[in-house]
Amino acid sequence: MADERRLEVVWSPIAEDQAANMVARIRRANRGVAWRWSQSLLYRVNALSQRALRGLSVPELDRRVRIGEITHAPARVLYRVDLDQVVILSIRSARSARKPTHDHERDSHHHGE
């Protein structure tokens, strides 16, 4: 078995706020669904520590080779792979998911910089 390197997963403040807002919206409809969704989101995001390179393809950001995405209905999670970490950049509703991510939102104010 190949020795796969684990990357640290860190969340940008923007992504943290977006996730909290999404959980709050879901919670208004159903508290149990919100809890299960948030736990599942954390599991999927943390799994990026070993599998971040598998999702490196974002159609509207095709020139940015280190940007990837995973979907977690009803959301789309954008992330950047750095040398030793995966930075969660944004979590957006699938309805607004294909809007281009602004440079300041994508790269600024994340942990470790």
pTM over 0.75: no
Q: Is the pLDDT of residue 90 over 50?
A: yes
- The domains found in the chain, sorted by start residue, are 8-99 (3.30.2310.20)
Query: Per-residue b/e over 56-76, b at no fewer than 16 CB within 10 Å?
Result: eebeebeeeeebbbbebeebb
Using alpha carbons only, how large is the chain's radius of gyration in Å? Answer: 14
Tokens of 110: 């994340």
Q: How confident is the model at residue 99 (pLDDT cuts 50, 70, 90)?
A: very low
